[in-house]
Structure 1
Amino acid sequence: MSRLLKRSSLAAWLCLCLLAGLVAADSCSAIEAVAPSVQVKYRFDPAYTSTNSEYWSTTCIALKPSCIIYPSSSRDVTAILGALRSNASDPEPFAVKSGGHNPNNYFASVDGGPLISTEKLNHVILDLETGIVRFGPGLRWDELADKLDGSGWSAVGGRMGNVGVGGYMLGGGLSFMSQEYGWAANSVLEFELVVANGTVVTASEDRNPDLFRALKGGGNNFGIVTSFTAQAYRQGQVHGGVMVFPRSRDTDAKMLKAIQDFTVYNDDDKAAVIPTQERAGGGIVDAWIVFMFYDGPSPPETVFKNFTDIKHIVDARKTCSYAELVRTNNWAVLKGQAYVIGTETLPLPEDPSSDLAATMLPEIHEHWREVSKQVDDAVGIIASIAYQPFPRRIAQVARDKGGDLLDMDDDVDRIIIELNYSFVVKKDYERVGQTLEDTYGGMRDRVLAWQEAGQLPDAYAPLFMNDAYDEQDYFSRLRPQHAELARSLAEELDPNGLFRERTGGWKP
């Protein structure tokens, strides 16, 4: 990898020469001077307004970049990074935005510095014979699914269509198809990215393999990805949708048992579920919503039986195209809300018949219900918990496909918790954030106590980046050798701290 840093591309060298004369220019003006083909939009321009409003969380929308920059090629990105480097004496913060689904402020949003929007990096090139597809980070998953619809191929990707491709892939990416194909990032064959010195780099199994691993779960620390090349898979119609269950203590017990049993015993790799419980209006709305998916037109009757046997009031499942399903799931993201999202990873007991197996999820769930009540008076509050099964089968597939930075082992089954609080009034941000910390912190304390008592295996439990809160220490939860790999690569590829010091996100 060090050879990459010893030779800048011709484009990067030219940018440096041109920028040498732009003394004390801000980055936005510098980019306009050296790359006139790159669109640069300022506040009150309709394009600026549109791009900056496309975040899940209103707290990110409230941050106002000095300009928004729209590269459409890796050459454009090289020029942009050259301009940012030229202002090292008066460094501005900056951010890179794909779909804007990460609600952590300053991760894909910025106040007073340039925002690089990847929305024009939206190419989709499919080889109909092999299913190898090259696509850009500026797409959302429903856009990519629509492009592939009717081809007979589908890419492993987001379960909600309006999730952006870029951040999702660099965080690993859980998919409805993960039990078949692993993390979404495990199907990537090649990354193209522009590193801090402007060089365009390819990372694959054969070229820069350490970087290839680090990009699968390492976030925005190594450069700006301009293209993914991934293996797509044969796919026809699918079956899926949501079921809604009125909440009661009896329903809680049955649902939590169904979640644990599905995680441990399901052997149909085509089946997936995301059971969630939603509380809103101080408990006025209190219900389970279960997302179900089957990679085929008709699931076996038994595969979801533990869920469908529970009393429910809505069954909106249907047979449709994969593109239609992920587009339909967009209803779950409410516009005009502020969001904080956090996560925790729960290893399950080795003995599914043990006393702890019967009480663990109920205790975790009751903890969430009690702590979430702390903010029942917040305007527009919706508290949600999602149980995302991560059976050992996913870890097996991920390792078979070459691995990733998370490097899950297949020794135990796990559940990845997603905690989601949305609300309306910005002044509630700090206390809702504290409630989120209390929620996942209490879960972690319980897991550690059960492990110390010998009731839970002392299993590796990294955090899932795509669901993590900015206060969670993502890299400290990785295996030490993988955290060190990320740290050393970030220092080598970015010795002057362009990404490490001027962008948000978790830093190794």
Structure 2
Amino acid sequence: MALSILSILLGSSLVLQASGTPLPTSSRCCHLLNSEFRGGEKVLYPQTSEYGVLNTYFAPTSQQSPSCIFTPSDTSDISRAIKLFTRRSCKFAIRSGGHHYNAGWASINNGILLSLSNLNKVIYNPSSQSVFVGSGNRWRKVYNTVEPYGRTVVGAQNSDVGVGGFLVNGGISFLADQYGWAVDNVREFEIVVADGRVLKANKYENKDLFRALKGGSSNFGVVTGFTLDTVESKLATGAYVEFPASSYDTLINAAYQYCVKGEDPKSQVLFISWLTVKNGAISVKDALSLIYTDIMDVPNPPNALAPFMDKKIPSSLVQILGRNQTMGSHGHDLTQIQHPGIRTIRQTISIIPDAQLLKQFHRILIQTAEQYKYIEGFTTDLLFQPIGKKWIAAGNAKGGNSMGLTEPVIILWVQPHWASAKDDEVIAQFVTKVIMQFEKAAKDAGKLSKFEYLNYAGPKQGLMEGYGAESIRRLQSVKRNYDPKNIFGTLLPGGPKIPGLY
């Protein structure tokens, strides 16, 4: 019996306390948290199955090793935990769905992972045509809840994405040109701020915080829930189109025209270049994914999409995806295409639309990839998506946000994939090298935008600096009001931070 008890003690923090040896900071914080919640099942330790499930991420590259995982049941639990973290200087990370690719943004080494997975209520209110969504949800549940009522939400294109991180960082939706960023469609935030208070932020109450949270990331507290506007659920049709190399110049010219005209807010196009390696040689496939958020006559597509579907630009494949489906159905389909478990990272850049610059980026990517093609499992993608006048105007019509965009831009991102963790650092160098060349080319052309979309940003990019001076001043003011001790800048080490404060 004595040996059994000793074994238990050796496997716990109690033996360190009994011997007088101070606990490491993270272990001490986990022990204090466990004591705060009276040894219940809300604090999970390594080597348990529950810990393993909650510490699994869409991209293995973003996974780290928290000392423990805290699984609060409600805002009261989070309030108590934040007070403890503040009092005891405990470092932590916040995880909603675990879909961001940057290590340390929703994960942590030697700290506490605050998992919002139990904050999973989705409650539709037919009278206000709004829906309350707990931050721990994924978009699948939200779509499935509201669409039987003939409504939908301005949510993620992939329904497996977590709600919380997607929204506080902006959120790109298939409906963006009609309704703005996803976060523009938040009617109210429920948030636990640095001193443990649970606040509501909307256009009447805590108005400064309400605006700041629209793209302000996790700088002000733990957002525990969102009340979202819903919109009429219309059927949409998607398509995937591939083009031979001989069509590339014509394709990019048409893409540029689509970006600058922005004539049909019901259409959205994502332009893609896939680079793969076969028999030691790089092959390039140029394609686009498009969606029309209304009934579409495929043989006679809308004017905005006709250049990509009417065969005037020779294409090698036209595949119709999800003819006349709901937004939720398109989101569910995308989860079948974007598979979890693959090593991947991203970095982003935004430019003022320019066809020649886009072609130059294409050449830079191919030339740089030649140096890395022998990495096991190496492939890389270059994707770009326009943010047009209608998108920006739709957000402004809902009161504006923190992201500071006033003129159309094209968001681009480079996203490699590879097989082994031993190549993580080399691949990170590849992405940085490509983006640095993109930035130089864009500066030389006078087309570089400082805006960086947070959900596609790399861990060391400029991030919020591209929001503009006026927006940053506003964010700094709100930060001083709600987190004067910078708890969510120091104890929450990961994620974007407001520049120029501390």
TM-score of Structure 1 vs Structure 2, range by shorter chain: 0.7 to 0.9
Cα distance in structure 2, aligned partners of 1:113 and 1:200: 23
SS in 2 for 1:281: strand
Cα distance in structure 2, aligned partners of 1:409 and 1:266: 15
Match of 1:190 in 2: 188
**Counterpart residue identity of residue 435, structure 1:** F
TM-score, normalised by the number of residues in structure 1: 0.86
Q: Could you tell me whether the CA contact under 8 Å between 1:276 and 1:384 is conserved in 2? A: yes
383-392 or 486-495, which deviates more: 486-495
**Counterpart residue identity of residue 376, structure 1:** K
Q: Could you tell me whether the CA contact under 8 Å between 2:409 and 2:449 is conserved in 1? A: no
1:259/1:142 CA distance change after superposition, 3 Å: farther
SS in 1 for 2:148: coil
Match of 1:251 among 244, 247, 250: 247
What displacement does 1:285 show? 5.3
Cα distance in structure 2, aligned partners of 1:41 and 1:339: 27
30-39 or 303-312, which deviates more: 30-39
Match of 1:67 in 2: 68
465-474 or 327-336, which deviates more: 327-336
Alignment RMSD: 2.2
1:490/1:247 CA distance change after superposition, 3 Å: farther
Cα distance in structure 1, aligned partners of 2:379 and 2:127: 46
Match of 2:123 in 1: 125
Residues 407-486 of structure 1: pairs in structure 2 closer than 5 A: 407-410=404-407, 413-451=408-446, 456=447, 461-486=450-475
Q: Is 1:392 the counterpart of 2:393 in the alignment? A: no
Match of 2:29 among 27, 30, 44: 27
1:377/1:487 CA distance change after superposition, 3 Å: farther
Cα distance in structure 1, aligned partners of 2:149 and 2:316: 36
SS in 1 for 2:316: coil
SS in 1 for 2:497: coil
Q: Could you tell me whether the CA contact under 8 Å between 1:247 and 1:286 is conserved in 2? A: no
Cα distance in structure 2, aligned partners of 1:70 and 1:471: 29
SS in 2 for 1:71: coil
Q: Could you tell me whether the CA contact under 8 Å between 1:280 and 1:381 is conserved in 2? A: yes
SS in 2 for 1:191: strand
What displacement does 1:499 show? 1.7
Cα distance in structure 2, aligned partners of 1:246 and 1:284: 17
Residues 295-310 of structure 1: pairs in structure 2 closer than 5 A: 295-298=293-296, 301-302=301-302, 303-308=304-309, 309=311, 310=314
**Counterpart residue identity of residue 471, structure 1:** K
Q: Which runs of 5+ in 1 are unaligned?
A: 1-22, 349-356
Cα distance in structure 2, aligned partners of 1:485 and 1:505: 19
Cα distance in structure 2, aligned partners of 1:319 and 1:333: 21
What displacement does 1:343 show? 0.8
1:86/1:442 CA distance change after superposition, 3 Å: same
1:280/1:358 CA distance change after superposition, 3 Å: closer
Cα distance in structure 2, aligned partners of 1:231 and 1:427: 45
Cα distance in structure 1, aligned partners of 2:335 and 2:284: 20
Match of 1:488 among 466, 473, 477: 477
Match of 1:498 among 463, 477, 487: 487
Cα distance in structure 2, aligned partners of 1:85 and 1:320: 47
1:361/1:60 CA distance change after superposition, 3 Å: closer
What displacement does 1:153 show? 0.8
Cα distance in structure 2, aligned partners of 1:388 and 1:485: 28
Cα distance in structure 1, aligned partners of 2:283 and 2:328: 30
